[in-house]
Copies of this chain bind each other. A is one copy, B any other.
Amino acid sequence: MRYNSRKRLKAGVHMQIINEPDQALAQAVQGIQWTYPELAWVPDTYGCYDRHFADNQIPLLAGGGSGHAPAHWGYVGHGMLTGAVMGTIFTPPTAEQIVKVAQAMTHQRRLFLIVKNFPADVKAFKTAQTTLQDQGWDVGMALVADDISVDNASLKQRRRGVAGTVLIHKLLGAAAANGATMAELTTLAQHVTAATKTIGVATSGALIPGQADASFTLNPGEIYYGIGIHGEPGYRQEPFQSSERLAQELISKLRLNFQWHAHDHYAVLVNSLGGITPLELMVFNHDVHELLQLDQLALDFHQAGTFLTSNGMHGLSLTLLHLEQTDWLAALNMPVKTPAWPNH
């Protein structure tokens, strides 16, 4: 049966340009392979590694569900990730797949994992860590928990790993390429993950291949604060007023969390969740700049683009990273050659 029988589609829901939904991921990986031959893909996984990796530094492996492109495969290359291992859409890879990619990408029996703080991701990567340790590997781990949105029921911060993860890739990638030891990577990871905070919003849910409905539906004209990158609901929905009002809300939440002072040094990542236009992203980027300048922060590093998406979600996230140590800025600025990290 063809995918796109009309009965599955409702007005306003965009069909997806794919073939059979259960083939989408495998075919997309073949498309990625053609465009980025520098990535070597590991059989029986959706995982890949840098074909040119010299295997003379601690290899870094990140991963999680698919549907976040260009994360994580887009950040594989010298100075950033050695490899990336994805599962199916919004589902982490299995421990076995993680182990396979680790074994394929290095002969060193040492490895540093970068994991987003979702229970299923943490479980799979910790199981893989134990498996490799049982085989004599030295395996470090960074747990990224940058999401400061609050759960309505528990009133606790969700602490999920979201777009700030890409900055962690960059910082740890630079350190590893510069010869950091396992102990140095572990300490750095603790500091940079604690210094990174993100909050996201959306006006539509995420898409799953083969499903006509997005992960959540809002009333027309509403925006949802604190959504998750797998299309999880947020903490508040309200009528959208303006990009500036949105920037005010997100920055006030970040300000409360960081308790910053004038002249503190920050990196800023304005991230499209995939479905918004460059025009919207740059209007919001403008508003963020105006508002952070009012607080007299030193904005030493900033990027705006599509870094970590939620498969077609109309939305964006704002990440701030407190640059506590001066060499972090050099690490962020270090040129790399990957499919997706911008060199300009």
Point out residues on A near B: beta carbons under 8 Å.
2-6, 8-20, 24-25, 27-32, 34-36, 38, 66-67, 69-70, 77, 89, 203-204, 207, 209, 220-221, 223, 239-244, 246, 274-287, 289, 302-306, 309, 311-312, 314, 316, 337-339, 342-344
Beta-carbon contact of B9 and A221 below 8 Å:
yes
CA distance A284 to B130 in the complex (A): 39
Beta-carbon contact of A278 and B70 below 8 Å:
yes
Beta-carbon contact of A304 and B343 below 8 Å:
no
CA distance A203 to B14 in the complex (A): 7
Chain B residues with CB under 8 A of A6 = 220-221, 239
CA distance A69 to B281 in the complex (A): 11
CA distance A275 to B311 in the complex (A): 11
Beta-carbon contact of A2 and B242 below 8 Å:
yes
Copies in the complex: 2
Extra inter-chain contacts (6) besides given A17-B246, A18-B280, CB under 8 Å: A2-B242, A14-B203, A27-B283, A28-B283, A207-B277, A278-B309
Residue of B nearest to A77 (CB): B344
Distance (Å) between the CB of A229 and the closest chain B CB? 13
Chain B residues with CB under 8 A of A287 = 19, 27
Distance (Å) between the CB of A247 and the closest chain B CB? 10
Distance (Å) between the CB of A35 and the closest chain B CB? 5
Question: Quick one: which of B3, B30, B69 contacts A278, CB cutoff 8 A?
Answer: B69
Chain B residues with CB under 8 A of A13 = 12, 220
Chain B residues with CB under 8 A of A12 = 11-13
Distance (Å) between the CB of A15 and the closest chain B CB? 5
Chain B residues with CB under 8 A of A280 = 16-18
Beta-carbon contact of B279 and A25 below 8 Å:
yes
CA distance A237 to B30 in the complex (A): 29
Which 10 pairs, one residue from A and one from B, show the smallest C-beta to C-beta distance? A12-B12, A31-B282, A31-B285, A69-B278, A31-B286, A28-B282, A9-B220, A17-B280, A6-B221, A30-B286
- A28-B279 contact in complex given A12-B13, A14-B314, A17-B316, C-beta closer than 8 Å: yes
CA distance A207 to B306 in the complex (A): 19
Chain B residues with CB under 8 A of A67 = 279
Beta-carbon contact of B14 and A69 below 8 Å:
no
Chain B residues with CB under 8 A of A282 = 27-29, 31-32, 35, 69
Chain B residues with CB under 8 A of A16 = 276-277, 279-280
CA distance A226 to B266 in the complex (A): 46
Beta-carbon contact of B18 and A283 below 8 Å:
yes
Distance (Å) between the CB of A212 and the closest chain B CB? 9
Beta-carbon contact of B302 and A242 below 8 Å:
no
Beta-carbon contact of B274 and A274 below 8 Å:
no
